[in-house]
Amino acid sequence: MIRLLNHKDEKRVLEYLYQEPSFNIFPIGDIETFGFDQDFQRIYGEFDDDGQIKSILLRYRENAIYYAHEHRFNDAYLEIFENDPFEFFSGKYELLELIEPFLSFSRKQVTYFCKATKLNADDVEDDDIKIAKTEEDYSNLYDLLKRIEEFQYHKKDKEKYVHEKTMSKQMGITLFLEADGKTISTVATTAETTKSAMVVAVATHEKYRNQGYATRLMKALMKKYFIEKKKELCLFYDNPDAGKIYLSLGFKPMGKWTMFRK
């Protein structure tokens, strides 16, 4: 049986997801932050005859994430796919291989998934690193991120981006560096849970690359989470050069993650 979950299911669905907390950082973070009563978020659960959870599907805005602790997919979810459509669909590589034959998405991206619990570096120069807090900070960050073609920020509305970042600061932090009166490099976290957070939007202006700015930001971010917050960090990457930097800083490979886009 598959049904829409509610606040009465919170304890057991989080227990189910915390079996693999790193891979489930997005649904855990969304449930812990927004719960079950938001119009932009819905959580579906599959149950066996004994009432035990077998899989979940989380819908957050235009995104969907599927997770099952076992290697399984119940095609009864396809009716939900049809009635509650989404633009992005992601999950563990092995699980989405089971679902791919049922999908008609135009783009598939497979990335490496990593986790870190300590920083493999002693020197952290963070005196000039800033934390984004104001609408002006986020507006300047948008101007930087829209220059990164792979991020597709030029297709997003600036005002909407600034509003969403301002309203969701509890889900993570954004660090940035400035030079010549503009934001030149940034790194952020999202989906922060009681135990971890996801690293996203690592970017440097093209005129300031290969000068170590992103590495400095990553070191500062890792220091903040490991020492101050006592939490681990996760990230995805598909760029081999970026991957070498992440691995050298202390990230360890955990597996692969797939995202489908319409």
Give the model's pLDDT for residue 182.
94
Residues 143 and 247 in one domain: yes
Task: Report pLDDT digits (tens) over 228-242.
Answer: 999 999 999 998 888
Segment 157-183 mean pLDDT = 91
Give the model's pLDDT for residue 115.
96
Give the model's pLDDT for residue 200.
94
If pLDDT is split at 50, 70 and 90, which confidence band does 227 have? very high
pLDDT at 165 over 90: no
Residues 202 and 130 in one domain: yes
Distance separating alpha carbons of residues 108 and 257, to the nearest angstrom: 11
Task: Report pLDDT digits (tens) over 46-95.
Answer: 999 999 999 999 999 999 999 999 999 999 999 999 999 999 999 999 99
Distance separating alpha carbons of residues 155 and 175, to the nearest angstrom: 23
Helix (H, G, I), strand (E, B) or coil at 117: coil
pLDDT at 161 over 90: no
Number of independent structural domains in the chain:
2
Give the model's pLDDT for residue 240.
87
Q: What radius of gyration, in Å, describes the C-alpha atoms of the chain?
A: 19
Residues 26 and 83 in one domain: yes
Give the model's pLDDT for residue 204.
95
User: Whole domain around residue 187: which residue ranges?
Assistant: 116-261
Handedness of CA 64, 250, 222, 116 (dihedral sign): positive
Task: Report pLDDT digits (tens) over 99-126.
Answer: 999 999 989 999 999 999 999 887 787 8
Distance separating alpha carbons of residues 124 and 72, to the nearest angstrom: 44
What type of residue sits at position 12?
Answer: R
**180 to each of 19, 170, 177, 260, how far by Cα in Å?**
47, 30, 11, 38
From 51, 78, 104, give the residue that closes a domain.
104
Calculated CA dihedral for residues 69, 172, 32, 26, nearest 10 degrees = -20
If pLDDT is split at 50, 70 and 90, which confidence band does 164 have? confident
Task: Report pLDDT digits (tens) over 190-219.
Answer: 999 999 999 999 999 999 999 999 999 999
Where residue 192 sits, what CATH number does that domain have? Answer: 3.40.630.30
In a domain, 40, yes or no: yes
Produce one character per residue of 210-245: b if its CB has 16 or more CB atoms within 10 Å, e if not. eeebbbbbbbbbbebbbeebebbbbbbbeeeeebeb
Residues 89 and 155 in one domain: no
Six token digits for residue 86: 């989404």
Contact 239, 103 (CB under 8 A): no
Give the model's pLDDT for residue 48.
96
Closest CA to 42 of 11, 76, 83, 75: 83
